[in-house]
Amino acid sequence: MVPLTAPERLLDPPFNVKLSTVIYAFGYNGSINDNTTLPVINAYLEYKQRYDLNVVLMNWEREARIVVPLNLIGAAIQYPTTAILNTRTVGGELGAALVRLSELGLDLDKVHLSGHSLGAHLMGYAGKVTRSSGKIIPRITGLDPAGPLFEGPVSLVGLQPGDARFVDVIHTNPIFLGDPDRLGDVDIRFNCDMLHQPGCPRNYIESCSHFRAPLYFAESINSPRGFTTVQARTCLDWRSGRNNRDGRILYWGENIDTQARGTYYIRTNRSPPFERGLNGIRP
């Protein structure tokens, strides 16, 4: 484990500053061993067998966890008073560490940051700090960025366009735990902002849909083309088929077209494999 205050220790073998580097951060109350973090890391390790790269997991368990009783009241207290503040702090430290690593030889043009929930905003803060130093990360991927206190007319600023050269965001639970607003250069709305992702329980207070985001991401990493999505102005336009015949198709995955812009839609299966190919762009 390498502390952010001593980033130079990351440069020891087997880390290679000349290779591409991916850094992933889990979300609120997450851990390095939970059932949404491990699929992402394992997918990258599988990817690494074909395309050599550095895989880094951002371990901020202590800063992201709930230390009061795990219930709605405890979460309501801990989330704004500790977790959100730590998101900004740890994100800033990561940004400063990346700047320092670039001075020691790390090629920032080969860095891809990704994060789920509060981890997405953490990566946004890292991008802001990096950019303020005159450097910019090529890509940040936000996986259903946290919504509470980050959405609405009076809200905190988290992940946003400009934090990297290209910011792509997927939305899987925008009605409850995720942020419904446009946060990226590309925003992909899975299953048309349904309250529940296919295969998730149909109860209001549930996190299954929110936690589908890293599972979709994990699947996309080793997909030959990625998830097939189609551009449309609104969910209604997509459902009506107005844009689907002439709408631009975008493949969301490791090799996404970073020149793309706009809002895209996709329908998934209830269980893995979630991606449906061209059938997924038909509502």
For 144-196, how does the pLDDT look when each residue is reduced to its tens digit (9 = 90+)?
Answer: 999 988 876 656 889 999 999 999 999 999 988 999 999 999 999 999 978 89
> Could you give phi then psi for residue 7, rounded to 5 degrees?
-65, -25
193: left (phi over 0), alpha (psi -120 to 50) or beta: left
Q: Does any domain span residue 153?
A: yes
Query: For residue 66, what pLDDT band results from cuts at 50, 70 and 90?
Result: low
* Structure-block tokens of residue 31: 């851990």
Decide if 138 contacts 165 (C-beta within 8 A). Answer: yes
Which stretches of 133-259 are DSSP H helices? 208-221, 235-240
Q: Are 251 and 277 in contact (CB under 8 A)?
A: no
Q: Is 157 exposed, middle or buried (0-12, 13-18, 19+ CB in 10 A)?
A: exposed
pLDDT digits (tens, 9 = 90+) for 11-39: 888 899 999 999 999 999 899 999 999 99
* Residue 186 lies inside a defined structural domain of this protein: yes
Q: Is the pLDDT of residue 244 over 80?
A: no
Q: Is residue 129 part of a domain?
A: yes
Catalytic: 210? yes
Question: Annotated catalytic residue: which of 117, 209, 220, 223?
Answer: 117
The answer, yes or no, to whether residue 222 has pLDDT greater than 90, is yes
Residue 254 lies in a domain: no
Angle at 218 between CA 195 and CA 205, to 5 degrees: 25
Query: Checking DSSP bridges between strand 186-190 and strand 262-266, what pairing results, if any?
Result: parallel
Spell out the alpha helix ranges (H) of 72-207. 72-78, 84-103, 118-132
DSSP 22: E
Q: What are phi and psi of 139, to 5 degrees?
A: -150, 135
Q: Of 23-32, 149-158, 225-234, 254-263, which gets the smallest average pLDDT?
A: 149-158
- Flag whether 241 is in a domain: no
pTM flag (> 0.85): yes
Instruction: Tell whether 149 is covered by a domain.
Output: yes
Residues 6+ apart with CB under 8 A from 114: 22, 23, 24, 25, 40, 120, 123, 140, 141, 142, 143, 217
pLDDT, position 194: 81
Q: How many domains does the chain have?
A: 1
The single residue of 116, 144, 163, 179 carrying the catalytic annotation is 144
Confidence of residue 74 (pLDDT cuts 50, 70, 90): low
Residue 169 lies in a domain: yes
What is the per-residue pLDDT for 205? Answer: 65
Q: Which residue type, as a one-letter code, is found at position 232?
A: A
List 168, 210, 220, 223, catalytic entry: 210
Q: Is a pLDDT exceeding 70 seen at residue 72?
A: no
Residue at 279 is within a domain: no
Q: What is the mean pLDDT of residues 67-87?
A: 69
Q: Is 144 tagged catalytic? A: yes
Count the neighbouring beta carbons within 10 Å of the beta carbon of residue 276: 15
The number of angstroms, rounded, from the C-alpha of 29 to the middle of its chain's C-alpha atoms is: 16
For residue 24, what pLDDT is reported? 99
3 state SS of 141 = strand
Please report which helix (H) or strand (E) contains residue 124, including its range: helix 118-132
d(CA 97, CA 115): 17
State the residue range of the domain holding 212.
7-195+202-228
Domain CATH code at residue 24:
3.40.50.1820
Mean pLDDT of the chain, nearest integer? 91
